[in-house]
Chain A
Amino acid sequence: MYAIETENIIKQYKNGVQALSGLSIYVKNNEIFSLLGENGAGKSTLIRILTTYLRPTSGKVIMLGKNIYTESKWVREQIACVAQQTSIDMHLSLEENMLFQSRLYKIPKIEAIKRMKKLIYDFGLERYKKYPVSSYSGGVKRRLDIALNMMSKPQILFLDEPTVGMDIQSRNFMWKMMKQIRDEFKTTIFFTTHYLEEADSLSDSICIMKDGKIVKQGTPLELRLLFQENIIRLKFSTDTEIRKCIEILTHFFPPKKILIRNSEIIIHSQDIQLYMKHVISLLVEQNIPFQGIESIQPTLEDVFLRLTQREQEECV
């Protein structure tokens, strides 16, 4: 049994915007599943549907073996969601926020206090207890938001861009917590992120979305192996050099194999030695200065860009 199964979900908002176009995903129990996609790909809409906040226009959603629309109360007892916007009540203290959550899920008071103490300790929130919640930094608020959502011991925890805007220390702490939640609480984590290194290092499964559809789903390794190609990376110091180089390269290489990223040109190639030799000789012949050239293995970011930015590649 999967933790989450969706079949052909379509979501069209009443204003006509189609956010999901026949999306099917499968999330295994007790795994960290990450959803990647550009802004507007439909990630937040999907989370809203899976957390029973929105109804899809059509399609089927089964969570822990039950249909989320016919058994929504049961499903709601099994899930928790930390949205992009923190959902802490500023007029309540840290402990009051956590106890309020326990009352929503009808957890007996003694058990609730026990869980609250453990979560406060696990999430490193002890020293913030005496301060008003409104004075917390963004990172601490986010930790509290996750901690209070764990009060109900959910089987599935949804995290919508949990580390956005966090400093590196808070992000590292969050990564540690997510692994702990999966391993210690046996909770399935379904999260969205824009940070590919985060998805790469944390996830058991990754799903890449584009325009409301799944483009690819697999383990980080499977995705990296998706394109059996190596990459040549050329570094330049000015945009003029990049433009000159592109003009030359497009005469010799298929445009869809070339991608501009920041001050670099990325060339996908199956025969890396031949291509590299060819590129170097072209640049030297045409007297185009460059800072460096190297051959690299594709990262998850490269795979993501290949899958989601096809149009930009073709433009080159």
Chain B
Amino acid sequence: MSVFTILNKNIKWRFHNAFTIVITILQPILWLVLYSAVAGQTMKNTGIENYTAFILSGLIILVSFSTCSSSGIMNYMMKSDGSFYRILIAPIRRSSIVLGQLLEAVLCTFFEVGIMCVISLFFSVKFSAGIMGVFLIFILVFMTAFFMAGLAYRISLILPNEAVYETVMNAIVLPIFFLSTALFKTENVSGVLKVAININPFTHVINVLRELILNGTVELSNIVFVLLIFVLMGSISFIWALNGLKKELSL
């Protein structure tokens, strides 16, 4: 119950600060609309027919990064002008406080992913995923956003202010995004870069999402591998965030 109390309050925060929705979705939309139009011409030589459809899976992950990063900003705002400290001395579980905030970031991610998908329809993107495929996409987006939200939550409790926080989050998110298969195929990449791309767990979630969107199917071993990795990463991220909150109480 307490989780929903916190979640409900945070959803209201998000709509009250609607600019956070605009800011977090603006960049992925620009990538989707402008970058895919410009780069699409070149990418035809690499065998990619609809480049917008190709990068959509990567941009879904980018949206999740942006939205979850902005949920960390909420901690700064609530500390300076809100109920952050009051909630900490209320008789509710610390895990409910963290979970309520992470779930808000996940919900906002779904909202923004929905907008991205609708826009992509105007660029001839065809979704081949059936009901099972959509369900798997839903699970993958949930897990990615949950992991990122946990990471953002903890980092926001460590760093002193919003400016430093945003810089650090960009320094984490952008390398992860560019060192993945979000924007290009990796067949022609070799050496250290190829290793870096392959050990990036987001490469694998992007590949699976892409398979589901474009072909509607995915190899069972791939989906199981990604699900296991993200269950592990999400759990670690949640525990790390929870410990961060508990540390707030043991200065």
Contact = CB atoms under 8 A, between A and B. Distances in A.
A279 to B, nearest CB: 51
Nearest to B250: A55
Overall SS of chain A's interface = loop
B111 interface: no
B186 interface: no
A104 B92 contact: yes
A104 B82 contact: no
Interface residues of A, number: 31
Nearest to A83: B85
Interface string B68-107: 0000000000101111111111111000000000000000
A87 B251 contact: no
Contacts of A73: 91
B19 to A, nearest CB: 12
A104 B13 contact: no
B16 A52 contact: no
Contact of B5 (A13, A86, A104, A149): A104
Interface residues of B, number: 25
Interface in A39-83: 51-55, 73-74, 76-77, 79, 81, 83
Contacts of A55: 249-250
Nearest to B12: A91
Contacts of B82: 87-90
Contacts of A83: 85-86
A20 B31 CA distance: 55
B1 interface: yes
B69 to A, nearest CB: 19
A278 interface: no
Contacts of A103: 1-2, 5
A100 B251 contact: no
Nearest to B6: A104
Nearest to A81: B89
B9 interface: yes
Contacts of A85: 80, 85
B83 A91 contact: no
Given A76-B91, A104-B90, A88 B16 contact: no
B27 interface: no
A51 B89 contact: yes
Contact of B251 (A14, A52, A89, A91): A14
Nearest to B79: A85
A103 B90 CA distance: 10
B17 interface: yes
Contacts of B9: 89, 92, 100
A122 interface: no
A96 interface: yes
A61 to B, nearest CB: 14
A106 interface: yes
A52 B88 CA distance: 9
A236 B52 CA distance: 83
A100 B89 contact: no
Overall SS of chain B's interface = helix
A253 interface: no
Nearest to A72: B91
Nearest to A15: B251
A74 B13 CA distance: 29
Contacts of B86: 81, 83, 87, 101, 149
B153 to A, nearest CB: 18
A123 interface: no
B249 A53 contact: yes
Nearest to A149: B86
A105 interface: yes
B85 A88 contact: no
Given A76-B91, A104-B90, A106-B1, A89 B83 contact: yes
A100 B91 contact: no
A89 B13 contact: yes
Contacts of B251: 13-14, 54
Given A90-B81, A91-B16, A92-B9, A54 B92 contact: no
B90 A76 contact: yes
A76 B89 contact: yes
Contacts of B13: 89, 91
Interface centre among B17, B80, B85, B90 (most CB of A within 10 A): B90
Contacts of B12: 91-92, 96
Interface string B239-251: 0000000000111
B5 A54 contact: no
Interface of A: 13-14, 51-55, 73-74, 76-77, 79, 81, 83, 85-92, 96-97, 100-101, 103-106, 149
Given A76-B89, A90-B81, 16 more contacts: A14-B251, A54-B249, A76-B91, A83-B85, A85-B80, A86-B81, A87-B85, A89-B9, A89-B78, A91-B13, A91-B17, A92-B12, A100-B5, A103-B2, A104-B5, A104-B91
